[in-house]
Structure 1
Amino acid sequence: MTQGPGRNHRNGLTLQELLQMFPDNETAMRWFESNIWPDGRKCPTCNNPDTVPARHPKMPYYCYKCKSHFSVKKGTIMQQSKITYQQWAIATYQFMTNVKGISSMKLHRDLGITQSSAWFMVQRLRESWKELAGVDKMEGPVEIDEVYIGGIEKNKHADKKQAGSQGDANKVAVIGIKDRKTGTIRAKPKVFCFLKLGARLDTSVK
């Protein structure tokens, strides 16, 4: 069996490419919004789609049903934070792609924020994994990996091939966790490319 590439051969974005993808806070916010609400904006409180833009300085949307203002951050791991969308996007990518995770001190230096804010981000990012791991903790060391499901494009029939579908395009990304001690495996599809930031936040995390 051919040995897979080591960590030095992993594909990913360079820092320059990441900054080009999220050049400012507005671009990052629109990216989060399109992925958290792929079928259109909905109120995170009552799930009502009847919402409109508002002039509120921090909550730019208004829900007619529950008569409340909200932002893209509400109901996600980003809520109750003054950290910008651009900083959340960059931190999430670093958290997901570093083999051994990332420390709050590194985020503090890379993002130019306080160490306490960086620690807050790391804790929230770790909290978001609860949805995948489940409420109960696993017993032993765990392995985490991902796979793209959808078949190899060159092996498909001509009428099923899609232009520009090389790599992971038009495939479902599935991420899984295995408990080495018990053999328990849990897997779910990724909602979007970095992390499911739209997951509802555990209210025990402040």
Structure 2
Amino acid sequence: MFAQFKTLPQLFDFFKDEATCMAYWEQVRWNGNPTCPHCQAENPYKTNRGYKCRNVECQKKFSLITGSIFENTKMPLRTWFGAMYLCANHKKGISSLQLSRDLGIHQKSAWFLLHRIRETFKEIDPETLGGSGVMVETDTTIVGGKVKNMSNKKRKAILEDKSKRNDNKTNVSAYIERGGKIRFDVVDASENEPDLLRKHVDTESVLMTDTANTYVKVGKEFAHHGSVDHSKSEYCRDSVYHTNTIEGAFSHFDRMVIGVYHNISRKHMQAYCNESAYRYNTRKAEQTNRFENTVAKAAGVRLKYVALTGKA
């Protein structure tokens, strides 16, 4: 990579025009070797508007932004790069309202743009966390407002029908390697914690949890299962048995939800979880490197408005 900046003004000075942005994106995506995004054939024809595939079975036309999160965008890449820098480097995220004010775009455009950026934060074919001798902590948090803070209409409906009390609550499970990566997973009604634990954590790992009943049986499948009893004010034992690492990660996640986004629907919860996990997993990276890594992940990712909202 050849970007040299540490602040947003320096970024806009570096990407001074659309030609510079396109040259940078071409270097990041193809590194001097253009490839057809439809069939992966190399050495395409160059046309006035982009490229045309040489493969006889394909022969499709494409451009630099085809098959990426930038496809069909009407915003300049300079705006995109500014948004990606802010979204990746703000410690607790950035709201669509704030981004619209910072970049001078409409709030709805900023909201859609942020969701497309979050699509690049998703892990592709993730491997299980942990391994032989690696300590992995797991816990579950509940995201959703308190009844007393709801509007009078919602509060009245819940008081009349107690079954609606948890309608605005979303269970989010997290798994973290001590000193390593974290992964969040929104718990669906058809899933349970033991199955998710087997899915995300290697059974050769050393598992650390609290004393919740859901971990008792499945914990026997791991190399070792240690726990602390929070109900007895036990938070650390022998400097090894604790869940303080994941509690600290949850505190960052809660600050993102409460302090920046305030209210997140269950439909989009996983996208915000991926965003929080991405920033946590790249916490030791420099801001420029995190930005460049985000841009590099933009290829091969596409999120259409209709798929995001269900509206044409």
TM category (shorter chain) comes to 0.5 to 0.7
Structure 1 residues 118 and 202: alpha-carbon distance in aligned structure 2, compared to 1, 3 A threshold: closer
Higher relative contact order (CA 8 A, sep 6+): 2
C-alpha distance in 2 between matches for 1:191 and 1:63: 32
Aligned position for 1:103: 95
Which residue of the other structure, out of 26, 45, 58, is the alignment partner of 1:52?
Answer: 45
Answer yes or no: is the 8 Å Cα contact 2:84–2:291 preserved in 1: no
Which residue of the other structure, out of 198, 203, 206, is the alignment partner of 2:299?
Answer: 198
Structure 1 residues 63 and 112: alpha-carbon distance in aligned structure 2, compared to 1, 3 A threshold: same
Give the Å deviation of 1:26: 1.2
Answer yes or no: is the 8 Å Cα contact 1:44–1:75 preserved in 2: yes
C-alpha distance in 2 between matches for 1:103 and 1:197: 20
User: What pairs with 1:2-41 in structure 2 (closer than 5 Å)?
Assistant: 13-38=6-31, 40-41=33-34
Give the Å deviation of 1:191: 9.9
Aligned position for 1:177: 182
Give the Å deviation of 1:199: 3.6
Which residue of the other structure, out of 118, 121, 142, is the alignment partner of 1:129?
Answer: 121
How much identity, in percent, do the aligned residues show? Answer: 30
Answer yes or no: is the 8 Å Cα contact 2:17–2:78 preserved in 1: yes
SS class of match (1:49) = coil
C-alpha distance in 1 between matches for 2:104 and 2:54: 38
For residues 154-190 of structure 1, the C-alpha deviation after alignment (integer angstroms, 9 at most, x for no partner) is xxxxxxxxxxxxxxxxxxxxxx4344995849989x9
2:301 is aligned with what amino acid?
A: R
TM-score, normalization by structure 1? 0.64
TM-score, normalization by structure 2? 0.44
SS class of match (1:126) = helix
SS class of match (1:140) = strand
Answer yes or no: is the 8 Å Cα contact 1:133–1:177 preserved in 2: no
Answer yes or no: is the 8 Å Cα contact 1:77–1:201 preserved in 2: yes
Aligned position for 1:61: 51
For residues 88-136 of structure 1, the C-alpha deviation after alignment (integer angstroms, 9 at most, x for no partner) is 11111111100011111122112221111111111101122223585xx
Answer yes or no: is the 8 Å Cα contact 1:29–1:86 preserved in 2: no
Give the Å deviation of 1:200: 3.0
Give the Å deviation of 1:35: 0.8
Aligned position for 1:70: 62
Task: Structure 2: give runs of 5+ residues left out of the alignment.
Answer: 127-170, 186-192, 203-276, 283-288
Answer yes or no: is the 8 Å Cα contact 1:35–1:192 preserved in 2: no
Give the Å deviation of 1:205: 4.6
Answer yes or no: is the 8 Å Cα contact 1:124–1:205 preserved in 2: no
Structure 1 residues 103 and 191: alpha-carbon distance in aligned structure 2, compared to 1, 3 A threshold: closer
Answer yes or no: is the 8 Å Cα contact 2:52–2:59 preserved in 1: yes
Aligned position for 2:173: 140
User: What pairs with 1:140-159 in structure 2 (closer than 5 Å)?
Assistant: 140-141=173-174
C-alpha distance in 1 between matches for 2:300 and 2:59: 23
Aligned position for 1:161: none
Structure 1 residues 48 and 87: alpha-carbon distance in aligned structure 2, compared to 1, 3 A threshold: same
Aligned position for 1:80: 72
Structure 1 residues 184 and 95: alpha-carbon distance in aligned structure 2, compared to 1, 3 A threshold: farther
Aligned position for 1:150: none
Give the Å deviation of 1:38: 2.3
Structure 1 residues 143 and 197: alpha-carbon distance in aligned structure 2, compared to 1, 3 A threshold: farther
Answer yes or no: is the 8 Å Cα contact 1:131–1:199 preserved in 2: no
Aligned position for 1:7: none
Q: Would you tell me which structure has more helix in proportion to its own residues? A: 2
